[in-house]
Amino acid sequence: MSLELDAAAQDLLFRTARTANTFTDEPVTDEQVKAIYDLVKYGPTAMNTQPLRVTLVRSPEARERLLTHMSEGNRAKTAAAPLVAVVGYDTDWHEELPKVFPHAPGAKANFDDAAEVRHGMGSFNATLQIGYLIIGIRAAGLAAGPMAGYDAEGVNKEFFGDGTHKVLAVINIGRPGPDAWFQRNPRLDYDEVVTTV
């Protein structure tokens, strides 16, 4: 076998894992979320920037505020999910460089007046971290329903009013409910994706 993970772990994380569209009402605890984060925080980002920021939407009032910005096709499942996470990136991620990239003390200054570069690096690296987060959710035995169907400007104003964070996705999290899966769509084969030069 070419992989170190056993077949059960491969299935849990990839082969049988699916994007859930319905959920049971079993709660997702803070302890589960912390365990997920404590695992996925080790995923690599450029310069160890770690720009991902996660807002857990737990209260009914916050859920209602979020639902007003979700596309019609995503509202019902977002309303019913045990936990919803608004995930985005910190536009001022460079402020953390002295802590997370300590061997380069002058690194932060390189980004102080480079908002466009910070946007590109922040959104790219946080998107990588969202992928790690989804795998971590699966590792906890839960299902994730990541979505991009929302009014980004509205979500940003509602949850990131100070303008320093930008939403990248909304993720429903929980145990899969009845009829949680759509039929799995085909995947591209190795030879359609990988080229050797």
Region class of 163: left (phi > 0), else alpha (psi between -120 and 50), else beta: left
Is pLDDT at 93 greater than 90 in this prediction?
Answer: yes
Is pLDDT at 195 greater than 80 in this prediction?
Answer: yes
Arithmetic mean of pLDDT, 6-28: 94
The structural domains of the chain, ordered by start, are 20-176 (3.40.109.10)
Q: What is the pLDDT of residues 115-127, one digit of tens each?
A: 999 999 999 999 9
> Going by DSSP bridges, is the β-strand pair 143-147/83-90 parallel, antiparallel, or unpaired?
unpaired
Alpha carbon distance 16, 22 (integer Å)? 16
Quickly list H helices, the chain.
Answer: 7-10, 30-40, 60-67, 72-80, 97-100, 115-139, 152-159, 190-193
Arithmetic mean of pLDDT, 27-49: 98
The structure tokens 């002295």 sit at 98
Alpha carbon distance 179, 95 (integer Å)? 44
Alpha carbon distance 174, 85 (integer Å)? 11
Q: What is the pLDDT of residues 113-162, one digit of tens each?
A: 999 999 999 999 999 999 999 999 999 999 999 999 999 999 999 999 88
CA torsion, ordered 9, 11, 16, 18, to nearest 10 deg: 50
